[in-house]
Amino acid sequence: MTETTIARHEMSSHPLVLLSYKLKTFVEFFGQRGAYFILPLILFTMLDVFGRKLTGTWFDAQLWLVENVSLMFRSTMLQELEWHMHTALFALVLGYGFTRNRHVRVDLLRMHMQTRAQAFIEFIGTTFFMIPYTIVVIYFCYVFTYDSFITNEISPSLVGMSHRWIIKTVLGIGLIIALISGIAVWLQSILVLFGPKNLRFELMTLEWPEDQGGGVEGYKRMVLEEQETDMKKIAKAGKG
Query: What type of residue sits at position 200?
Result: R
d(CA 191, CA 188) in angstroms, rounded, equals 5
- For residue 218, pLDDT over 50 is answered with no
pLDDT of residue 12: 62
Kindly report, residue by residue over 14-69, the tens digit of the pLDDT: 889 999 999 999 999 999 999 999 999 999 898 888 877 776 655 666 676 777 77
Q: What is the pLDDT of residue 141?
A: 96
Residues 51 and 231: their CA atoms lie apart, in Å, by 47
* 1 has pLDDT over 50: no
Sign for the pseudo-dihedral over CA of 13, 15, 18, 24: negative
List CB contacts of 167: < 8 A, sequence separation 6 or more.
Answer: 84, 87, 88
Mean pLDDT of 206-225: 64
Which pLDDT score, from 0 to 100, does residue 226 have? 66
Q: Would you place residue 184 in the very low, low, confident or very high pLDDT band (cuts 50, 70, 90)?
A: very high
pLDDT digits (tens, 9 = 90+) for 151-167: 999 988 877 888 999 99
Pick the range with the lowest mean pLDDT from 95-99, 103-107, 111-115.
Answer: 103-107
Tell which residue, 59, 64, 101, 125, has the closest CA to residue 202: 101
| pLDDT over 60 (residue 103) | yes
What own/partner pairs with CB < 8 Å and gap ≥ 24 does 39-42 have?
Answer: 40/81, 40/85, 41/82, 41/85, 41/86, 41/89
Q: Round to the nearest angstrom and report the end-to-end CA distance of the chain.
A: 47
Q: In the structure, what pLDDT confidence band is assigned to residue 213 with cuts at 50, 70 and 90?
A: low
One-letter amino acid of 30: F
pLDDT band with cut points at 50, 70 and 90 for residue 214: low
- Of the two residues 71 and 240, the one the predictor is more confident about is 71
Provide the residue ranges of all domains of the chain, joining segments of one domain with +: 3-206, 216-240
123/104: higher pLDDT: 123
pLDDT in tens, 113-148: 888 999 999 999 999 999 999 999 999 999 999 999
State the pLDDT at residue 182.
Answer: 96
